[in-house]
Amino acid sequence: MSEVITAVYEITAEDPAGRAALVAVEQSHELPTELSPANAVRDSLAHVREVVERPGRPALVTVDYPAGLAGGELGQLLVLLLGNVSLQDGVRLVDVTLPAVLAGALGGPRLGVAGIRSLVAEPAGALLATALKPVGMTSEQLAALARDVAAGGLHVVKEDQSLANQPWAPFAERVPRVAEAVRAANPHTVYLPVVNGGAAGFAEQVRFARRAGAHGVLVMPGIAGFGALAHAAELFDGGIVLAHPSFLGGFTASESHGIAPDVLFGTLLRLAGADASIFPSWGGRFSLSRDQCLAIASAARRPLPGVAPMLPTPGGGMSIDRAPELLDAYGPDTLFLVGGDLRRGGDPRRAAERLVAAVRPG
């Protein structure tokens, strides 16, 4: 049997087996089977392997796609897994398994867990990050904040996704100032500006960030596209690519449609090239459950042939006081993102030092 891409869906329908057959055809041929050439039916039509009906719950449907349908490309893989059926209610992608050759060809993270640990000189302990915000601060204010939290011992200083090219802190002015402030404060802290320009502007922003002394970039694949993650890694060789979930919530908000959070934020963004993936942790201001968050972390780090593990990055209203609890739940191969809580009390450096102390044993 030739190699297959296996996708598992939750299907909500009165006739789940019939709906599953329609999904298999829609996602592979998008043409009635009786109208397709015989060789296409034999070689490229998806097949429903299993339909498990679960009373009171969506049916669990397993579909095998001939691996050649993906063409060895990330974009076509996404089209294959949920392209047209993303426009239909009642179909939710909950798992995907790729042949080793295809997974390796997609590449995944350039640095991953080990590469980021090497850049920040932290071989084993929990990794800590914060976001520069809010929009409206000047370049000088953002640089001062970055200097303080870097001096306090944080490993990653990323920009908030809302920063762009606003008049208070234009990209070309802001990035060199913040990069210099971080570099002067702590040689083991990395700085990741957000890049969200248009198609041509995106590439130039990545190149500019590298020239200006940044250590990688923050990318919003919901805005720039999944392929932008891999392209950013190509343009910024040796730099960190951090994925932000902005604009992706529509895929995960429904229990009967879209993509399960662990598949989107853990598996697909990892395959797309993210070295670390931000997602909203439980207990903050968003709605993912503890089990969903731990599943994301597991998907980010589980063995995939030819694909480096990725750092799960829980955020979204995290606090210093919760750091020990979160460390116990997620484990040390995690980049913990704490934002606004570091601003309480008016001394970001001291707050960063408290956060570092909270996750270090003894």
Which pLDDT tens digits describe the chain residue by residue (362 residues)? 479 999 999 999 999 999 999 999 999 876 666 655 666 556 788 999 999 999 999 999 999 999 999 999 999 999 999 999 999 999 999 999 999 999 999 989 999 999 999 999 999 999 999 999 999 999 999 999 999 999 999 999 999 999 999 999 999 999 999 999 999 999 999 999 999 888 889 999 999 999 999 999 999 999 999 999 989 999 999 999 999 999 999 999 999 999 999 999 999 999 999 999 999 999 878 779 999 999 999 999 999 989 999 999 999 878 999 999 999 999 999 999 998 899 999 999 999 999 999 998 75
Q: Which two tokens stand for residue 246?
A: 């902005």
Asked whether the beta carbons of 306 and 109 are under 8 A apart, the reply is no
Residues 123 and 31 in one domain: no
Radius of gyration of the chain (CA): 22
Contact between residue 241 and residue 234 where contact means Cβ atoms under 8 Å apart: no
- Domain co-membership, 233 together with 304: yes
The secondary element (H helix, E strand) that includes residue 210 is: helix 199-211
Q: Cis before residue 55, ω within 30 degrees of 0?
A: no
**What is the number of other CB atoms lying within 10 angstroms of the CB of residue 2?**
9
Q: Are residues 82 and 208 in the same domain?
A: no
| DSSP state, residue 121 | T
Q: What residues make up the domain containing 23?
A: 4-106
CA distances from 22 to 10, 14, 15, 88, 315 (A): 14, 13, 11, 11, 38
**Any idea what the CATH number is for the domain that residue 296 is in?**
3.20.20.110
Domains identified in the chain, total number: 2
Which amino acid, residue 156? V
Q: Which of 106, 125, 150 is the last residue of a domain?
A: 106
The reply to whether 67 and 144 lie within a common domain is no
Q: Look up the pTM and report it.
A: 0.95
Q: Can you read off the two tokens belonging to residue 5?
A: 């891409």
CATH number, domain at 75?
3.30.70.150
Rounded Cα distance, 57 and 309, in Å: 32
Write down which residue in 91, 106, 121 finishes a domain: 106
